[in-house]
């Protein structure tokens, strides 16, 4: 009796996925949404205990929420992202506040810094979207000195944004073989990624409230400026886009805690602080 050989599991083409992601995050105008998340950067800087004079790296920094939070605490901050347009937004914000920040284009999966270069590494809803999760974790820990802290804010699978990506994925399937970004918002995955190199790993669930006029207002803003939803709608024909809008609106209505006259949707995320051995 013969036994059929198991089909090999295809290795994802991370380079192709990354290219698509860059185009996604460069589309629309993420900064319009990003600036509303500033409170998360401030909270994360406090959780990481960012101190004056420390060397701080913000990875996948977007338009600079964690960057600005660390710079306001008189740290020496390097802000990085692989989307130049987002770095430009962060640079404008830092200049407006008179904050001294170094901005540098860089990919979190291949950071151009020596081992142990930083006291603190920060990421707010950024590094979690890199396609190669293991390499991303390795790189962030590599550039940290022993005893340094990695602090991240990551959307959870069961929170609003995690549910939103499930809705989008039902209409526009994600790349095959890529682990869901929201796994970064789970204790088990974080233990896999950091457990061997962590002297301490602290996790705390927090909430960011999305505050908009209505579900229709949220959909309009995110359809126009937030890369993942902008690209998802653009990939669908008229009927497909209408179906996606209905499903997102249903999710918003189900999670709205403000009643019929406004929209307040709590977005659960996991705040993590890893102290390197």
> How many residues does this entry show for the chain?
277
Residue 221 domain flag:
no
CATH number at residue 68: 3.40.50.150
pLDDT on residue 4: 44
pLDDT on residue 19: 85
pLDDT on residue 1: 37
Helix, strand, coil percent content, the chain, rounded in steps of 5: 45, 25, 30
pLDDT on residue 2: 38
What's the domain count of the chain? 1
pLDDT on residue 10: 58
pLDDT band at 18 (very low <50, low <70, confident <90, very high): confident
Cβ neighbourhood burial of 261 (10 Å; 0-12, 13-18, 19+):
exposed
Helices (H), the chain: 14-26, 30-34, 38-47, 65-72, 84-97, 133-142, 160-171, 187-194, 215-225, 227-234, 238-255
- The answer to pTM > 0.85 is yes
Residue 241 domain flag:
no
Give 225 or 26, the one with higher predicted confidence: 225
- Residue 4 has a CB neighbour count (10 Å cut-off) of 5
What's the rounded Cα separation, in Å, for the pair 193 and 138? 8
- Domain with 187, as residue range(s), is 14-162+174-209+267-276
* Predicted confidence (pLDDT) at residue 3 exceeds the cutoff of 80: no
Residue 186 domain flag:
yes
pLDDT on residue 27: 85
Residue 256 domain flag:
no
* Predicted confidence (pLDDT) at residue 49 exceeds the cutoff of 80: yes
Look at 21-35, 66-80, 200-214, 263-277 and tell me which has the smallest mean pLDDT: 21-35
User: Considering Cα of 80, then 85, then 88, then 92, what sign does the dihedral take?
Assistant: negative
What is the mean pLDDT of the segment spanning 246-265?
Answer: 97
Contact (Cβ atoms closer than 8 angstroms) between residue 215 and residue 222: no
* Predicted confidence (pLDDT) at residue 40 exceeds the cutoff of 70: yes
What is the mean pLDDT of the segment spanning 2-9?
Answer: 44
Residue 100 domain flag:
yes
Nearest to 111 by CA among 77, 148, 147, 138: 138
pLDDT band at 29 (very low <50, low <70, confident <90, very high): confident
* Predicted confidence (pLDDT) at residue 244 exceeds the cutoff of 80: yes
What is the mean pLDDT of the segment spanning 113-135?
Answer: 97
Give 165 or 1, the one with higher predicted confidence: 165
Contact (Cβ atoms closer than 8 angstroms) between residue 231 and residue 27: yes
Angle at which helix 65-72 crosses helix 84-97, to 10 degrees, equals 30
For the chain, give the mean pLDDT: 94
Q: Give the pLDDT confidence of 99-108 residue by residue, as tens digits.
A: 999 999 999 9
DSSP 191: H
Residue 243 domain flag:
no
Residue 6 domain flag:
no
Two structure tokens written together for 237? 């024909």
Q: Give the pLDDT confidence of 158-207 residue by residue, as tens digits.
A: 999 999 999 999 999 998 889 999 999 999 999 999 999 999 999 999 99
pLDDT on residue 59: 98
Residue 84 domain flag:
yes
What is the mean pLDDT of the segment spanning 261-277?
Answer: 98
């Amino acid at each position: 009796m013969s036994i059929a050989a198991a089909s090999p599991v295809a290795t994802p083409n991370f380079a192709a996925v990354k290219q698509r992601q860059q185009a996604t995050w460069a589309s629309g105008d993420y900064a319009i949404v990003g600036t509303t998340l500033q409170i998360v950067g401030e909270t994360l800087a406090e959780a990481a205990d960012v101190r004056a004079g420390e060397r701080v790296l913000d990875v996948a920094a977007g338009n600079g929420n964690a960057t600005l939070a660390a710079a306001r605490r008189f740290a020496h901050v390097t802000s990085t992202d692989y989307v130049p347009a987002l770095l430009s937004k962060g640079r404008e914000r830092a200049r407006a506040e008179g904050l001294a920040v170094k901005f540098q284009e860089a990919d979190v999966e291949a950071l151009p810094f020596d081992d142990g270069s930083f006291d603190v590494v920060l990421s707010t809803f950024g590094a979690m979207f890199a396609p190669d999760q293991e390499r991303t974790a390795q790189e962030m820990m590599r550039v940290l000195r022993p005893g340094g802290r990695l602090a991240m804010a990551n959307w959870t699978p069961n929170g609003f944004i995690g549910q939103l990506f499930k809705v989008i994925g039902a209409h526009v399937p994600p790349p095959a073989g890529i682990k869901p970004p929201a796994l970064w918002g789970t204790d088990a995955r974080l233990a896999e990624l950091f457990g061997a190199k962590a002297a301490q790993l602290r996790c705390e669930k927090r909430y960011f409230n999305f505050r908009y006029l209505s579900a229709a207002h949220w959909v309009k803003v995110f359809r126009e400026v937030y890369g993942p939803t902008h690209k998802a709608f653009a990939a669908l024909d008229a009927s497909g886009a209408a179906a996606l809008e209905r499903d997102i609106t249903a999710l918003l209505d189900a999670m709205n805690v403000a009643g019929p006259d406004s929209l307040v949707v709590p977005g659960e995320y996991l705040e993590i602080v890893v102290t390197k051995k």
